[in-house]
Amino acid sequence: MDYFLTDEQKMIIELARKIAQEKIKPIREQCDEKGEFPWEIVKELSQADLMGIYIPQEYGGFGGGVMELCLAVEELCKVDGGIALSLAATALGTFPIMLFGTEEQKKKYLPRIAKGEVLAGFGLTEPESGSDAGATKTTAKKDGDNYILNGTKCFITNGGVAEVYTIIAMTDKTKGSRGASAFIVEKGTPGFSFGKKENKMGIRASATCELIFQDCKIPKANLLGREGAGFIVAMKTLDQSRPGVASQALGIAAGALDEAVEYAKTRKQFNHPISSFQGIQHMLADMATQVEAARALVYATARAVDKGVKDISGVSAMSKLFASDTAMKVTTDAVQIFGGYGYMKEYPVEKMMRDAKITQIYEGTNQIQRNVIALDLIKKAARKK
C-alpha cells in the first residue's frame, strides 16, 4: 500500500530500520532475558536525531509530528517491541509539556529531551487508580511558592531511567477529577524515590517501576497548565499518545507477519513448504490484511493529530484498540504457524506475542478505549441534533 510518505518520512523509516536491524536485533534476546534497559540504543536513537523527532525545531527537535514518531516506533518495534519504548514513553511524558507547558517550561525541558540527554515518563496510574484515572490519590498540597507531593504511582514506563516526569496529583480532593493538577517532577528531587522494579511478561527491555513521593517539595513553577486542569492534561495527552501505542502494536504485528512468511517458505512438511498449504496461506492472508488495515488507521489518525483536527479522542482510541487487537491476533497466529518451534525462545515470535499483550492494556485498556469511542460517538450524534 502506498501511503504517499514524504522523502523525509521515508528517510526516518530507513534510519529506524538500520538501527533496528544492526543494533537492536543482536541484543534483543539478551535484553528480554535479563530485563536490561538498552542505554546503548538510546544513544543510537539520539545520534540519529530520533529521540526528538516529534519535538519542534525551535526547542531543538527534528520538527516532525506524531506521524513521524509513529513511523519510527513502528519500524523499531518490527524487531523489538520493548526497546523502542525508551522513545515512545518519553514522548508520552513530553506531550504534556508540549501541549500545556509555558514558554519557560518548554525551553527548560524540551531541548534536553530532544537531544536524548534525558528521558521522560508519565505518572498517572496508581495501585488503586488504573482505568478510573479520576480516582487519583496522590496529593499535591500548596505550601507558599511550592507544592508538597505525597503518594505512589505504579507501572510507570521509563520509571527510574527517566529524569523528567509529568505527575498527576490531587490539589483539591473534594472536586473529583476537577481537583487534579499536573506537575513536572525531576529525578533527584528530595522526597522523590523509586520503588519496586516490575518483572514483566513482555517488553522486558523497558524499565517499569513505582514512583514514590514522600513530602516531595516542588516549586510552583512546575505546575503544568492551571490548578485543577490535571485530568484534562492527562486525557489530552492520552489522545495524542495513543497512536504511538498503536504504532508499537503495528510494528510488533508487522514483524511477526514477516517472520511467519519467511518461516512458512522454508519449513517443509509432507515434502512441501508449509506456505503451499491453503490452511497456512489463509492464515497469512488474514494476518496481512489485519496489519494493513491497522496501518491505514494508525497513519490516518497520526496525520489527523498533526493537522490539529479537533475531537480526536474517538479515532485515537480506535487506532490503539484496533492495532493492539491486531498485534495480539497476528503474533498468536505467527506462533501457531511456527508450531512447536514458535513456542521456544530460540525463535522471536513467542517474545512478540508476549510483547503484544501490553498494548491491549496500557494507556487505557481496550475496554476503556471502547468506552471512549462510544462516548465520542454519542456526544457527536447529540451535537448534530
Give contact residues for ligand COS (rule: CB under 6 A): 122, 124-125, 131-134, 177-178, 231-232, 235-236, 238-239, 313, 362-364, 368, 371-372
Query: Residue 13 belongs to what H/E stretch?
Result: helix 7-19
Q: How far is the CB of 289 from ligand COS (least distance, A)?
A: 28
Q: How far is the CB of 288 from ligand COS (least distance, A)?
A: 30
How many angstroms separate the CA atoms of 326 and 253, rounded?
Answer: 7
Query: Residue 264 belongs to what H/E stretch?
Result: helix 230-266
374 CB neighbour count, 10 Å cutoff: 12
Q: How far is the CB of 123 from ligand COS (least distance, A)?
A: 9
Q: Report whether 364 contacts 131 (CB < 8 A).
A: yes
Length of the chain as a residue count: 385
Is 36 annotated in the active site?
no
Residue closest to ligand COS, measured at CB: 364
How many angstroms separate the CA atoms of 384 and 91, rounded?
Answer: 35
- Considering beta carbons, is residue 10 or 178 the nearer one to ligand COS? 178
Q: How far is the CB of 313 from ligand COS (least distance, A)?
A: 4
Q: How far is the CB of 214 from ligand COS (least distance, A)?
A: 22
Q: How far is the CB of 177 from ligand COS (least distance, A)?
A: 5
Q: How far is the CB of 30 from ligand COS (least distance, A)?
A: 27
- Considering beta carbons, is residue 124 or 284 the nearer one to ligand COS? 124
Q: Per-residue b/e over 192-223, b at no fewer than 16 CB within 10 Å?
A: beeeeebebebbbbbbbbbbbbeebbbeeebb
**Phi and psi (nearest 5°) for 268?**
-110, 135
Q: Report whether 16 contacts 75 (CB < 8 A).
A: yes
Dihedral, 51, 118, 208, 69 alpha carbons, nearest 10: -20
- Considering beta carbons, is residue 96 or 348 the nearer one to ligand COS? 96
User: Which residues 6+ apart lie within 8 Å of 373 measured at CB?
Assistant: 314, 317, 318, 321
What residue has cell string 520509571?
159
Degrees to nearest 5, angle at CA 88 with 360 and 325:
20
- Considering beta carbons, is residue 203 or 283 the nearer one to ligand COS? 203
DSSP state of 222: G
- Considering beta carbons, is residue 108 or 320 the nearer one to ligand COS? 320
Q: What is the CA radius of gyration of the chain?
A: 21
- Considering beta carbons, is residue 60 or 93 the nearer one to ligand COS? 93
- Considering beta carbons, is residue 178 or 265 the nearer one to ligand COS? 178
Q: Report whether 299 contacts 3 (CB < 8 A).
A: yes
Instruction: Please identify every residue annotated as catalytic.
Output: 363
